[in-house]
């Protein structure tokens, strides 16, 4: 009978983090409204591990971020209250994901997916995703601009 080995995943190195550079383009239209934005990370089983940013004006608009809402928002009111901030105007933004999950625990090394959902009233909807491998090697990914997003740059570093 073969012996079964259990693989134990290692947590991300303490020095690991991911810089996220995010642009909202200026859109010329008479009915411009600031977009609602959700940025989150899911593990290889498609389980959400961290909502990194959530920009909405009022709770009633959370459901407009359909993909994020179905995965996270409708199940965790406390998280929604903790991470929600106001919508933002067109411009360049930078934020950092520290490698922790929503409960404050360091995630394990492995395959993940980075998601961005941007929805604008009287405008478009863009849903972007990027597969990433979080381990001990640094990387950079660029997500191409869409109708509602400018350049998005992910830079994962392990010092």
Task: Enter the tokens of residue 75.
Answer: 């199940």
Q: Residue 2 has what pLDDT?
A: 53
Domain range for 109 is 17-157
Q: Indicate whether 87 belongs to any domain.
A: yes
pLDDT of residue 30: 83
Burial degree of 105 (CB within 10 A; 0-12, 13-18, 19+): exposed
The mean pLDDT of 109-135, rounded to a whole number, is 94
Q: What is the CATH number of the domain that holds 52?
A: 2.60.40.4070
Residue 7 forms part of a structural domain: no
Instruction: Look at residue 12 and tell me if it is in a domain.
Output: no
Band the pLDDT of 142: cuts 50, 70, 90.
very high
Asked whether residue 73 is assigned to any structural domain, the reply reads yes
Does any domain span residue 10? no
- pLDDT cut 90: percent of the chain above it: 66
Q: Residue 89 falls within a domain, yes or no?
A: yes
List pLDDT tens digits, range 32-63. 888 999 999 999 999 999 999 999 977 777 88
Task: Encode pLDDT of 56-106 as tens digits.
Answer: 977 777 888 989 988 887 767 777 777 788 889 999 999 999 999 999 999
The reply to whether 4 falls in a domain is: no
Is residue 6 a part of any domain in this protein? no
DSSP for 54-113, please give it: EE-SSGGGGGGSHHHHHHTGGG-HHHHHHHEE----SEEEEEEE-SB-TTSPBPBSEEEE
pLDDT at 8 over 70: no
Answer yes or no: are the C-beta atoms of 85 and 65 closer than 8 Å.
no
- Whether 29 and 121 have beta carbons less than 8 Å apart is answered as no
Q: How many domains does the structure of the chain reveal?
A: 1
| 115 DSSP β-pair partners | 40, 129
Residue 7 has pLDDT above 60, yes or no: no
Q: Band the pLDDT of 3: cuts 50, 70, 90.
A: low
């Amino acid at each position: 009978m073969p012996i079964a080995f259990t693989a134990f995943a290692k947590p991300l190195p303490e020095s690991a983090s991911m810089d996220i550079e995010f642009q909202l383009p200026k859109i010329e239209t008479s009915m411009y409204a600031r977009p609602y934005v959700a940025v989150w990370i899911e593990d290889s089983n498609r389980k959400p591990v961290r909502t990194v940013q959530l920009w909405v004006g009022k709770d009633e608009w959370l459901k407009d971020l359909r993909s994020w809402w179905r995965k996270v928002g409708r199940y965790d009111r406390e998280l929604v209250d903790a991470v929600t901030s106001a919508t933002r105007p067109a411009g360049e933004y930078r934020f950092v994901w520290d490698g922790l999950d929503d409960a404050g625990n360091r995630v394990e090394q492995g395959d993940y997916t980075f998601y961005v959902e941007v929805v604008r009233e009287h405008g478009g909807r863009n849903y972007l995703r990027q597969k990433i491998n979080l381990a001990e090697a640094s990387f950079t990914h660029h997500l191409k601009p869409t109708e509602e997003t400018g350049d998005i740059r992910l830079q994962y570093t392990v010092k």
